[in-house]
C-alpha cells in the first residue's frame, strides 16, 4: 500500500475547531469583551496554513524561544529545522492591557472573528536583527524587509483555534489542503512526488526542469503561490491560466497535479527555499525543485545561494529531497533545451530574454519566440499585458 511521507515533526497539525467549540469561542469573543487584533493579508495566509497543517509542526504564532532560535539558527527551540519566523505583530496600543493566559479574537479585514489566539507571550520585535538574519540585509527597498518594518513593535505568541477559515475566493478547484493532496497521492499510487514552487508565469525553462524531475519521480505537484506578492508581479489568476493551458497540451494527465499554495511571498531567497521545501513535505511531496535564485528579488542573493543553504542541514532532518537545477535555456546549437551543466556551447547560442524584454514584447503584441515560451502561454500573457496599456 502507498504511504505518504511523514509531515515535518511527525504529525499533521489541525487547528480548526469543532462546531461545538466554534460556538463557545464565538460566544466568548462577542460577549466577554475579548480584545481584537486585525490581521494583515500575510498573517491571514499564515493563519490558514497553520490551521490546516501546512506549517506543521506549528500550532500557532511563534513565541520568543522559537522566534529567537529561528532567526539565529534556522531551527525551532526543539532543534527541528525551520527557517522563516511565523509571527503575529501588534502595536503598543494593541498590547495595552493584554496579559499572557488571556484569549484574543483575531479578525479579518471585515472585522469578523476568524480565530482565537491563546496568548502565551508578548515580546519585543527586533526588526533590524530579523531583517539582517532572515533577509541578509536591512534595506527597506527589499520587499520582505519593508514588510517587517511595517509590522507592529511587539509580537504575540500562542496557539490558535480557528473558528472560520478565510473565504476561498478564486481558484476554489485548486485549493487543496495538505490532507487532501496527501489523500490524492495515495489514491493515485504516487510514492515519489516532486513539488514545484513559482510566483512567475511558466516558461520553457520551467517546463524543462519540471520534466527532468518527472523522469525520476512518479508525479509532480505544480504549486504556484497565490498569496500576497509584489505589486509588479504577474497576478495569480493570470499565472494559473498559463498553467492550465500548458497542462492541457504538454503534460501527462495521470502524472501531474495543479494546486495553489496560499502562502504570502517573503522574498527571503535561501531561507525561503528551505521553508518552501519543508512546507511541501507537509503537502506530501518527497522531492522539491530548487532552481536558480529561488525566492530571490533584485540582486540581493547569489544565483545558487538557495542551493548552498541546504548544506547547512542533514538531509534526514530536512526529510525532503531537494533537486537542484542550473540556469536553463534553449540552445540553438544543441537544438533543444539545456543548462550550463549540459551545454558546451557559447552563450551566443542561448535564447535568454530579460523580464523587461519579455514584458515589452507582450505589451506590444509581439510573441516571444517558441524557444522561450509556449505559444499558448504567450497568448495568455499578451492578453494580460495589453490590458495594462
CB–CB of 83/109 below 8 Å?
no
- Return all residues near 79 (Cβ < 8 A) that are at least 6 apart: none
Phi, psi angle pair for 369, to nearest 5°: -65, 150
CB–CB of 81/74 below 8 Å?
yes
Cell of 257: 497535479
The helix or strand, by DSSP H or E, that contains position 119, with its residue range, turns out to be: strand 113-124
CB–CB of 161/15 below 8 Å?
yes
Q: Which residue has the cell 525551520?
A: 82
Q: Which of these is catalytic: 15, 42, 182, 199?
A: 199
Distance separating the N- and C-terminal Cα atoms of the chain: 54
The helix or strand, by DSSP H or E, that contains position 243, with its residue range, turns out to be: helix 236-250
With 0-12 / 13-18 / 19 or more C-beta atoms within 10 angstroms meaning exposed / middle / buried, residue 323 is middle
Q: What span, in angstroms and rounded, lies between the C-alpha atoms of 324 and 280? A: 16
CB–CB of 302/337 below 8 Å?
no
- Return all residues near 370 (Cβ < 8 A) that are at least 6 apart: none
CB–CB of 335/326 below 8 Å?
no
Whether residue 42 lies in the annotated active site: no
Q: Write the Ramachandran bin of 158: left for phi over 0, alpha for psi from -120 to 50, otherwise beta.
A: left
Whether residue 199 lies in the annotated active site: yes
- Return all residues near 366 (Cβ < 8 A) that are at least 6 apart: none
The helix or strand, by DSSP H or E, that contains position 121, with its residue range, turns out to be: strand 113-124
Q: Which of these is catalytic: 14, 73, 175, 200?
A: 200
Q: Quickly count: other Cβ atoms within 10 Å of residue 10's Cβ.
A: 10
With 0-12 / 13-18 / 19 or more C-beta atoms within 10 angstroms meaning exposed / middle / buried, residue 234 is middle
Catalytic residues: 199-200
Amino acid at each position: 500500500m502507498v504511504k505518504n511521507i511523514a509531515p515535518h515533526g511527525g504529525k499533521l497539525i489541525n487547528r480548526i475547531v469543532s462546531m461545538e467549540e466554534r460556538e463557545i469561542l464565538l460566544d466568548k469573543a462577542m460577549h466577554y469583551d475579548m480584545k481584537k487584533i486585525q490581521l494583515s493579508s500575510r498573517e491571514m495566509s499564515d493563519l490558514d496554513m497553520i490551521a490546516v497543517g501546512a506549517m506543521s509542526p506549528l500550532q500557532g504564532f511563534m513565541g520568543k524561544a522559537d522566534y529567537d532560535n529561528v532567526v539565529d539558527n534556522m531551527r525551532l527551540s526543539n532543534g527541528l529545522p525551520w527557517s522563516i519566523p511565523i509571527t503575529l505583530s501588534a502595536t503598543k496600543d494593541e498590547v495595552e492591557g493584554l496579559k499572557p493566559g488571556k484569549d484574543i479574537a483575531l479578525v479579518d479585514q471585515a472585522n469578523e472573528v476568524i480565530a482565537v489566539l491563546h496568548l502565551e507571550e508578548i515580546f519585543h520585535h527586533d526588526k533590524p536583527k530579523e531583517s539582517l538574519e532572515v533577509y541578509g540585509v536591512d534595506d527597506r527597498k527589499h520587499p520582505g524587509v519593508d514588510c517587517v518594518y511595517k509590522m507592529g513593535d511587539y509580537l504575540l505568541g500562542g496557539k490558535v483555534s480557528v473558528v472560520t477559515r478565510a473565504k476561498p475566493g478564486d481558484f476554489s478547484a485548486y485549493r487543496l489542503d495538505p490532507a487532501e493532496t496527501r489523500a490524492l497521492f495515495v489514491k493515485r499510487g504516487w510514492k515519489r512526488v516532486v513539488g514545484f514552487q513559482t510566483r512567475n508565469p511558466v516558461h520553457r525553462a520551467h517546463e524543462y526542469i519540471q520534466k527532468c524531475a518527472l523522469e525520476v519521480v512518479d508525479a509532480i505537484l505544480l504549486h504556484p503561490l497565490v498569496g500576497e506578492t509584489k505589486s509588479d508581479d504577474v497576478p495569480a489568476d493570470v499565472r494559473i491560466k498559463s498553467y492550465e493551458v500548458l497542462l492541457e497540451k504538454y503534460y501527462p494527465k495521470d502524472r501531474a497535479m495543479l494546486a495553489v499554495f496560499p502562502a504570502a511571498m517573503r522574498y527571503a531567497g535561501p531561507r525561503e527555499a528551505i521553508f518552501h521545501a519543508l512546507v511541501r513535505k507537509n503537502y506530501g511531496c518527497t522531492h522539491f525543485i530548487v532552481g536558480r535564485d529561488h525566492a530571490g528579488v533584485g540582486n540581493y542573493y547569489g544565483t545558487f545561494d538557495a542551493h548552498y543553504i541546504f548544506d547547512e542541514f542533514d538531509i534526514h532532518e530536512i526529510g525532503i529531497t531537494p533537486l537542484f537545477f542550473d540556469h536553463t535555456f534553449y540552445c540553438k546549437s544543441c537544438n533543444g533545451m539545456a543548462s550550463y551543466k549540459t551545454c558546451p556551447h557559447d552563450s551566443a547560442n542561448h535564447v535568454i530574454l530579460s523580464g523587461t524584454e519579455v514584458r515589452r514584447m507582450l505589451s506590444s503584441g509581439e510573441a516571444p519566440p517558441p524557444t522561450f515560451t509556449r505559444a499558448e502561454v504567450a497568448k495568455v500573457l499578451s492578453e494580460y499585458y495589453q490590458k495594462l496599456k
